[in-house]
């Protein structure tokens, strides 16, 4: 490991960045250095600009990947190399806004019914019942389930913040059935080795396959279950500030995007076509 890489890792750890962020940032900086065949210490603003053009025009990477590279280079030059001049030369692109994929309540039921494994069904039901992110679900511990207070503790979620979410009575019943069958001791959903939590890819593949088996036309993912959790709560009349807290959003503006896909919001306004009182009959069509 190079001295610069270790310094960057130390700087990230000091700022309490997650292990996933550290891994991503280091990989992005390594790609940048590999592209030019030089250490970032020998590269400047012009090389940074060239690399961005390369990512967009030749690699045609996604905006999320591009933004990861931007954030990683910003951190490297600002904090590790102490070169603020480089930061100003790294533009942060506007990310295209896409509406979240939301499953209807009937589709959620079909998805659950298509999962044959009790463990995987318990994981997906937990994701929907709580709105947790994939990493948050897989890293739950048995001790995080507080049946006395009917709450679930989320340890160090996004932004390194703890929070609590509700424990549904139905989910508690499912988790008890699962616990009696599997007897997990530390991790609520352990891997086969029992020493680590279940791998993200195992859960995602199971969710995707269940969506196919259920005949869903939408892409079924743990993220879509999180989106469905928020949207269904909004449609049920839950205050958006409460939803924000449950999701762990730092800004309510992030939560407000669910108003764009809420069935209650979209269908609440009558189309102007109805105001025309236009008669529809076979003679006209």
User: Is the confidence at residue 56, as pLDDT, over 80?
Assistant: yes
Q: Is there a domain that residue 200 lies in?
A: yes
Could you please report the per-residue DSSP string of 100-139? PP---HHHHHHHHHT---HHHHHHHHHHHHH---HHHHHT
Least confident of 14-18, 132-136, 199-203: 14-18
pLDDT at 268: 65
- CATH of residue 210: 1.10.443.10
pLDDT at 237: 85
User: Is the confidence at residue 1, as pLDDT, over 60?
Assistant: no
Clarify whether residues 260 and 124 are in a common domain.
Answer: yes
What are the b/e assignments for 237-256, b being 16+ CB within 10 Å? Answer: eeebeebbebbbbeeeeebe
Closest by CA to 224, choosing from 213, 237, 210, is 210
Clarify whether residues 251 and 220 are in a common domain.
Answer: yes
pLDDT in tens, 74-94: 999 999 999 877 776 676 666
Clarify whether residues 50 and 135 are in a common domain.
Answer: no
Provide the percentage of residues in the chain whose pLDDT is more than 90. 59
Computed over every residue of the chain, the mean pLDDT equals 87
pLDDT at 153: 93
- Its pTM stands at 0.72
Q: Is there a domain that residue 284 lies in?
A: no
Q: Is there a domain that residue 271 lies in?
A: no
Please check whether residue 172 is in contact with residue 238, taking contact to mean a CB–CB distance below 8 angstroms.
Answer: no
pLDDT at 83: 87
Domain count, the chain: 2
User: Is the confidence at residue 266, as pLDDT, over 70?
Assistant: no
Distance CA 133, CA 81 (A): 33
Q: Is there a domain that residue 186 lies in?
A: yes
| Res. 10 pLDDT band, cuts 50 70 90 | very high
Instruction: Give the domain range for residue 118.
Output: 105-266
């Amino acid at each position: 490991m190079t001295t610069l890489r270790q310094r960057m890792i130390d700087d990230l750890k000091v700022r309490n960045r997650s292990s996933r962020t550290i891994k991503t940032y280091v990989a992005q900086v390594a790609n940048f250095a590999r592209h030019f065949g030089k250490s970032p210490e020998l590269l400047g603003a012009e090389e940074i600009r060239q690399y961005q053009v390369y990512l967009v025009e030749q690699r045609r990477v996604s905006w999320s990947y591009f933004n990861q590279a931007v954030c990683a280079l910003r951190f490297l030059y600002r904090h590790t190399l102490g070169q603020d001049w480089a930061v100003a030369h790294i533009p942060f692109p506007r990310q295209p806004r896409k509406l979240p994929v939301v499953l209807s309540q009937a589709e959620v039921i079909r998805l659950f019914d298509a999962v044959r494994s009790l463990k995987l069904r318990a994981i997906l039901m937990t994701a929907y019942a709580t709105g947790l992110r994939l990493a948050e679900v897989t890293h739950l511990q048995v001790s995080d389930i507080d049946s006395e207070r009917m709450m679930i503790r989320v340890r160090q979620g996004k932004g390194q913040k703890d929070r609590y979410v509700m424990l549904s009575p139905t989910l508690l019943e499912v988790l008890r059935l699962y616990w009696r069958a599997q007897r997990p001791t530390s991790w609520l959903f352990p891997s086969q080795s029992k020493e680590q939590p279940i791998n993200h890819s195992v859960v995602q593949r199971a969710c995707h396959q269940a969506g196919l088996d259920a005949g869903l036309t939408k892409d079924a993912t743990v993220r879509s279950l999180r989106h469905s959790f928020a949207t269904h709560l909004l449609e049920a009349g839950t205050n958006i500030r409460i939803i924000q807290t449950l999701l762990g959003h730092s800004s309510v503006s992030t939560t407000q995007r669910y108003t764009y896909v809420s069935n209650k919001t979209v269908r609440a306004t009558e189309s102007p076509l109805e105001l025309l009182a236009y008669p529809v009959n076979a003679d006209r069509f």
